[in-house]
Amino acid sequence: MSVAMTAVATALAVGIDSRVTIPNVSMVFVVPVVMAAIGLGLGPSLCSAVLGALAYNFFLTEPRYTLIVDDPANVWAIGLLFVVGLIVSGVAFTSHRRAAEAALLRRQVALLQDYGREVAAPDNIKAIVLTTSRALAALFGVPVAVILVSDGKVVSVERVGGAGPQEAEIEAALSSLATGSFVRAGVYPAVASRFDFWPVATTGQAPSAAIGLLFDPEERPLAPSTPIEIVARLLSLALDRQHLLVGHSA
């Protein structure tokens, strides 16, 4: 796509130059750089910047159809076009990434608000844990497992997604609860675990929980802990509340 857009810009620039003398025809090559940065990413955008400078040199500077440049002014024009392409590429890519991050943040806030309402509605622990698993899966789009633990033993495992926790993941979840800290997959002491785990501490005799998410190592979010810790606090309150309601009824 990057090469194709640069080719179209080249054809347009050559067509304009053959009919009208325009001093800034080289700016046509900036358009595919911006489009690639917004739609394709930084790499394709840089590719468009390089190809645009080469195409301008080959088709529009004398002697034409060679990469030789006779006029020093054209050397400056080609270099300036390349630098402008790099700057525009970086600015466009950064703006697009920030817009995407802002959209993701708005979506996460909306999902967390919905979860805050939904987790208070169920009247049993299983439904609370299942609601939590679905909310986390919607937040991150990865397999989720919420492991419920009482008196150091696994009571239940609610999962959403294709993968479920194995023995190594259960041990990592128990370790996370025992230490009260985040345990990352593939790192000691959870070397064999595929899931990252966050502890959910409760008060009194209410069962505690460990939240596990199976992130792709190559597409791992930069800061997943913030929304997960919010979910963990809401889940902790919901588990404590349900335990108190059951105790009151008894």
Handedness of CA 222, 227, 230, 235 (dihedral sign): negative
Task: Please say if the pLDDT value at position 204 is more than 80.
Answer: no
Average pLDDT over residues 201-208: 87
Residue whose entry in the numeric block shows the structure tokens 């985040």: 182
CA angle 198, 227, 141 (to 5 degrees): 85
State which H helix or E strand residue 34 sits in. helix 30-39
At 32-68, the pLDDT tens digits run: 988 888 888 888 888 998 999 999 889 988 888 888 8
pLDDT of residue 99: 87
Kindly report whether the global pTM for this prediction surpasses the value 0.85.
Answer: no
Task: Please say if the pLDDT value at position 162 is more than 90.
Answer: no
Task: Please say if the pLDDT value at position 167 is more than 80.
Answer: yes
pLDDT of residue 205: 81
Task: Please say if the pLDDT value at position 250 is more than 60.
Answer: no
Cα gap 83→77, rounded to integer Å:
10
Largest Cα separation within the chain, whole Å, is: 93
Q: Measured between alpha carbons, how far apart are the two ends of the chain, in Å?
A: 67
Cα gap 242→204, rounded to integer Å:
12
pLDDT of residue 16: 87
Contact 17, 25 (CB under 8 A): yes
Burial 84-101 (b: 16+ CB within 10 A, else e): bbbebbeebbeebeeeee
Cα gap 4→52, rounded to integer Å:
11
Nearest CA to 173 out of 208, 210, 202 is that of: 210
Task: Please say if the pLDDT value at position 154 is more than 80.
Answer: yes
Please give the share of the chain, as a percent, with pLDDT higher than 90: 47
pLDDT band at 229 (very low <50, low <70, confident <90, very high): very high
Average pLDDT over residues 126-151: 93
pLDDT band at 247 (very low <50, low <70, confident <90, very high): low
- Two structure tokens written together for 59: 């088709």
Query: What's the DSSP call for residue 165?
Result: -
- Cβ partners under 8 Å of residue 111, min gap 6: 135, 138, 139
Task: Please say if the pLDDT value at position 109 is more than 80.
Answer: yes
Please give the share of the chain, as a percent, with pLDDT higher than 70: 98
Q: Cite the DSSP H helix spans in 119-224.
A: 125-140, 167-179
- Cβ partners under 8 Å of residue 249, min gap 6: none
Cα gap 78→210, rounded to integer Å:
58
Upper half-sphere CA count for residue 147 (Cβ side, 13 Å): 26
